[in-house]
């Protein structure tokens, strides 16, 4: 958790809210996150609003968190910083 800034741990999952200036920026982030998730074959739950996106990772197959959740969270963070 120390290596993924701003992520919250709750009920065997990690989540983070990303804020944007407008809908276009939000959707660009969502599409980029979907591409990264597809490449990793590890898909988060995403709740999308006009100017924000909440990304939540958990590994359903094991009923909790795996190393891949944290790897993908770090990759999504890098998207946001671009």
d(CA 52, CA 60) in angstroms, rounded, equals: 25
Per-residue pLDDT reduced to its tens digit, 64-74 = 999 999 999 99
Q: For residue 23, how many other CB atoms are within 10 A of its CB?
A: 12
Residue 51 counted as domain residue: yes
What is the residue range of 27's domain?
A: 23-81
Is residue 15 assigned to a domain? no
What does the pLDDT read at residue 56? Answer: 98
Whether 8 maps to a domain, the answer reads no
* CATH code (residue 35): 3.30.1360.20
Examine the pLDDT at 82 and tell me if it is beyond 90: no
The answer, yes or no, to whether residue 3 has pLDDT greater than 90, is: no
Supply the pLDDT for residue 37.
93
Looking up tokens 């006009």 gives: 50
Number of domains in the chain: 1
Q: Is the pLDDT of residue 2 over 80?
A: no
Residue 14: inside a domain? no
Residue 1 lies in a domain: no
- Whether residue 11 is contained in a domain is answered as no
Residue 79 CA from chain centroid, whole number = 10
7-60 pLDDT tens trace: 999 999 999 999 999 999 999 999 999 999 999 999 999 999 999 999 999 999
User: Among 47, 30, 49, 44, which Cα is nearest to 73's?
Assistant: 44
Residue 41 belongs to a domain: yes
48 is a domain residue: yes
Rounded-to-integer distance, Cα 12 and Cα 20, Å: 27
């Amino acid at each position: 958790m120390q290596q993924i800034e701003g992520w919250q741990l709750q009920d065997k999952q990690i989540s983070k809210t990303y804020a944007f200036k407008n809908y276009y920026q939000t959707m660009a982030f969502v599409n980029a996150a979907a591409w990264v998730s597809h490449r990793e074959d590890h898909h988060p739950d995403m709740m999308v609003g006009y100017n924000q996106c909440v990304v939540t990772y958990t590994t359903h197959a094991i009923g909790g968190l795996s190393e891949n959740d944290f790897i993908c969270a770090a990759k999504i963070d890098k998207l946001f910083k671009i």
